[in-house]
A and B are shown apart, each in its own frame.
Chain A
Amino acid sequence: MINKLSLLIAIQVVLISGCSLFVPMQKPQEHREQLQLWIPGAISVQVLSDWNEWGGIESAGEIINPLIGRMEKQEDGFWTLDISELTVGSYRYAFFVNGYRWIRDLENPETAIFRDQVVSVILISD
């Protein structure tokens, strides 16, 4: 009985809010040479990657430099980083939020593994 009730409530919720629950949010603008993450409540976001020795994790000292890969906060909750300077190659990367949480790029369907975590991978061509 409880299961049926829960299912009914869930269906109601989906029906009521379905219009916006499963309609994707529009990007502010399309930048192919820019990484962006929508996370309005974050206080800091960095892109850690093969191209920057994972912010310092993979260099001596293993200290993440807070300026490496630092994303810029926009007013609409987006954080952005320009990657137009990257040279040709294949790079794994992830977003490092608030100094402890790893998030893959939800706009990029290609994934790889780094330190047993699912991260994103991008191929920069000529």
Chain B
Amino acid sequence: MSAFVSVLLVLLAMTPDSTDVALLPDGWTMGWECLVSATGNGKWAGNHPVIDSTDVDAALSIMAESPEVDFLVTGALMSDSAGTFVFRRARASVKWPGTPWIGAGLFLHDRQPFVPGLREPLVEWGWVDIDSLQGYGFQSGGILGFNGEYLIQQTGADTLTQLNIQSPWMGFAGFSYSRVHYHSEESPLDDNIVLNVLSIRSDFRYFKPWVIIAGAEGEKGRWAVAGELRDFRNFTTDWGDVEIIPAISFAGEEFSTPGDAFVPGQRLLKLGAFLRSFRYIASAGIIGMLDLNSDSLSGVSVTAAMVSESSVTWDILFDAYADGDYRAVFGAGTADSFASAGLRMEILEDSTRLTGMASCTPREDVSAEFTVSADVSGSMNPACRLDISTALGTVSGLIGIHWEQGSDVTLLINLRGLLH
């Protein structure tokens, strides 16, 4: 397996630059790239390391392009647990000659559904296993500035369709629309998901409303709406400005999506103030949240950060909720081009974890970092790790040694590279 990858790398490295291949017609360019990642996991046994498992991933992409037609094929290989290679990913897309705004593509384990929200997404990455997806899609655009895409993919016996439409900015407003339909043959009631998401943005000169309306078909209560007033800046100076953001986030009792944008039944009012500096590396923000439905989401969230003139970095995060949950993170560190050191304290309800870090960069392409942490509120549970990393051009390497109380010393070796 490793030999195969080695041969592949050697062959690719020996191949001359193929962008001027004579066999190609005039106006065509061709290129390739190969992404390789090799990982070894092991532990320290006795006085020497033992590698328990290795994984080698490789993705080879070949691109051909002309003014009228784009062609891209990506094949990816992954070593499975049995040590054999399995086919991983492929994509081929073509644009209609003469009308470059119309295209079609075939996808194998390549196009994953994702629908962003205002902050957290409505459909999160990884909702559908990327290794199970295969299908085709169409793209069009250019008509009055609109762009659209329609994808039909199979995942096992189930069907996933996606429609995305993006409008141009029309002077005062613009919108995008996404529809995701997951149709399961085996469980037609529970596993069928239809999600429609309309995102509207506008500009009223002094502030910019941004609204997301989402609806799922079926029972009542499958709706959600979120909105923010952006760019409301009444406190602008040479130093920086403060943006005030009023926001709402309401969802029906039966609304749920494979993302964290909404909690079913939430009636959330938010008011945020965010300080950004034009001149200095400093920022601060505070958000007050009032959940009209329950106390679980009511609370306050604070962030503050700065890099000082004396090269000290400060970072503070604090979240507290009405139901008693809270989390505080305080970090401080100093750095120069050769070394750095820092301290980080994370306080949760039942633990206070203190982490110390020191690193050095003896060369521009080599860095070593040592961290020690312990729960100072009681059990201690100490842990430490050493990470040595290197980056040479498009190749990077990492050696990590990790230990925590009650566990063996573990070892990670990773080598990533891009040949092209």
Contact = CB atoms under 8 A, between A and B. Distances in A.
Interface of A: 17, 19-27, 30, 38-44, 50, 53-54, 56, 58-67, 77, 87-92, 98-101, 104, 106-113, 118, 121, 123, 125-126
B184 interface: no
A118 B317 contact: yes
B340 A41 contact: yes
Q: Is the interface of A mostly helix, strand, loop or mixed?
A: loop
Given A21-B308, A63-B416, 12 more contacts: A43-B367, A60-B88, A60-B110, A61-B76, A61-B88, A67-B394, A98-B398, A100-B387, A101-B369, A106-B306, A108-B276, A126-B201
Contact of A22 (B119, B272, B308, B337): B308
B117 A58 contact: no
Interface stretch (B15-23, B150-158, B214-222, B357-365): B357-365
B116 A59 contact: no
Contacts of A106: 281, 283, 305-307, 313, 315
Contacts of A63: 35-37, 57, 59, 416
A38 B307 CA distance: 8
Given A40-B336, A43-B366, A90 B118 contact: yes
B303 interface: yes
B352 interface: no
Given A24-B306, A110-B285, A61 B59 contact: yes
A19 B389 CA distance: 35
A79 to B, nearest CB: 12
A25 B283 contact: no
A2 B92 CA distance: 69
B281 A39 contact: no
A91 B317 CA distance: 20
B230 A125 contact: yes
Interface string B275-295: 111111111110000000000
A60 B76 contact: yes
B305 A109 contact: yes
B284 A25 contact: no
Contact of B114 (A22, A42, A50, A67): A50
A88 B174 contact: yes
A92 B272 CA distance: 18
Shortest 4 CB-CB contacts between residues of A and residues of B: A109-B285, A24-B280, A106-B305, A20-B310
Given A22-B308, A24-B306, A65-B35, A60 B313 contact: no
B408 interface: no
- The residue in A24, A26, A56 that gathers the most chain B C-beta atoms within 10 A of its C-beta is A24
A106 B283 CA distance: 7
B417 interface: yes
A43 B390 contact: yes
B65 interface: no
- How many B residues touch the partner, as a band? 35 or more
21 contacts: A23-B309, A25-B308, A26-B309, A30-B278, A41-B361, A43-B389, A44-B396, A58-B114, A60-B88, A60-B110, A61-B37, A61-B78, A66-B417, A88-B166, A98-B398, A99-B389, A100-B400, A107-B305, A109-B285, A112-B120, A118-B317
B305 A20 contact: no
A106 B364 CA distance: 24
Contacts of A21: 308, 310, 312
B282 A125 contact: no
A110 B283 CA distance: 9
Contacts of B301: 111
Contact of A30 (B166, B279, B389, B394): B279
Interface string B255-267: 0000010000000
B131 interface: yes
B278 A24 contact: no
Given A61-B57, A126-B201, A40 B337 contact: yes
A28 to B, nearest CB: 10
Nearest to B387: A100
A126 B169 contact: yes
B94 interface: no
Nearest to B366: A43
A126 B203 contact: yes
Nearest to B287: A110
Given A27-B281, A109-B276, A126-B201, A66 B394 contact: yes
B369 A98 contact: yes
B1 to A, nearest CB: 16
A59 B308 contact: no
B112 A58 contact: yes
Given A43-B366, A98-B389, A88 B120 contact: no
B210 A125 contact: yes
Interface string B118-146: 11110001100011000000000000000
